[in-house]
Structure formats: structure tokens, C-alpha cells
Structure 1
Amino acid sequence: MNDEMRLRVLVVDDDPDTAESLAALVGLSGHDAQVALDGRSAIRLVRNDDFHLVLLDIGLPDMDGYEVARRLTLLGQRSLSIVALTGYSSDEDLRRSDGAGLDHHIVKPCGSDQLQRILDEALTKARGA
């Protein structure tokens, strides 16, 4: 993979404005972003397409983000990074993220520098797969 590689990022959030804003920021960073508004849609999209990164809200309407992460992890896509991007911030939330196979648990709001670090790490992982 060359230096011009563009990540394929799936933004999963039940708030359409939040999801679209985050997708726009990903696009401004030079990567491709798609939006899913619930867990089932996210799982279907990842199963049917080649994403490198999932930015995942925990409080989704149909299943929580921990369950989405567990199901995505079972797909066995080595180059896929899954990052919780959520308002949930308790120690229990962090433990649940670890147990669900999330690569990171980031508490909203996420600044542009923090988002860029997430994208850079996902790019490194994708290149190594």
C-alpha cells in the first residue's frame, strides 16, 4: 500500500447531525467516510464492504455499541480498527469497551487532533494487514 492510501471509515451514531459532522471531518482529513445510524446497518455494511475504521457510538437504538463491536470482531477482519466515540465515560464503560474488543474508548467531544491520531493509527494498522 502506498502513501496515498485513503482509509474507508464507517461512522456509526444514531444522531444524524453528529454522524454527518464526523464524516465530514474524516473527509477533510483525506479519507472516505460512510454513515450508519444503527448497529444492524453498521454490521451489514462492514460485512459487505472493506472498511478500515469504525467510529462507534455506544448508545445506539437497536443494540449497544459493545454488542456491535463484538459482532464486528467476530468477522475476523484483521485490518479493521474499532473505536468507541461516545459520551459514556465511567470506569465500567471503559472495561466494557475492552471486553468488547474495541481498540480505543474516546469520550465526546473528540477534538480534531485526537481524531487525526485515531486516523493515523488506523492507517498504520491497515498498511500492516
Structure 2
Amino acid sequence: MKGKIGIAVGLAAGYVLGARAGRQRYEQIKQKAQQVWELDPVQKQVDKVAEFGKSAALAVPSVVWDGAKRVVKAINKGDSAGEKIDNAAAEGKKAADDVRKAAERDARKVADASAAADS
């Protein structure tokens, strides 16, 4: 479904940009697009995506923050400079993995929500 929507948007944009009918035709297309945008089914999907985006956007930064705190704590554990660097590097790798997993989890949620909306 995403591919079909992308093609439709691309074709519409190409037509609008390439149309030689002038300002009047552009205004007609713009008005129709606004009417479609304001339809209840479209706005319901917009609301769903907005709510999901808010929750997903909050998840990754908290994982990043937790990882940064763990790296700082790891630096303080070492006695020598080399140990501190090794501890920070090891904890940084773990934190990066956690961020990657959180981003993948959120991406799966978006894909699942999109698939549910399509059906």
C-alpha cells in the first residue's frame, strides 16, 4: 500500500509541477487535495500516526540517555586511563546496541501499525 500511495503522490506532484494549465488548474488540484485531506478516514489515520509517533519518539531518546549515563558510570570504574577507556568503550557498544534495538522495535511498530491501517 505504501508503494501505491508513493506512486500516486509522485504522479500528482509531477502533474502539478508540469501542468501547463496555469494557476487556475493548480488551484483546482489544491482544492481537491484539501478536500481529501479533510475526509474523516484520512484524519483518523493522521491522528493514529501522530499518537504513535509521539510514543515512539519518546522511547529512543530515553534509551540514549540511559546509555550515556552507563558510559559515564563505566568511566568512573577504572583505575587507570586505559581501564577507563576500555570500560567506556565496552559500555558504549552495549548502549549503541540498545539504541539500535529500540529503533528497530519502533520501526517494527510503525510497520505493524501501517499494515493494520491498510487492512
TM-score, normalized by length of structure 2? Answer: 0.23
The answer to which structure has the higher strand fraction is: 1
TM-score, normalized by length of structure 1? Answer: 0.22
The answer to which structure has the higher helix fraction is: 2
**Greater Rg over alpha carbons, structure:** 2
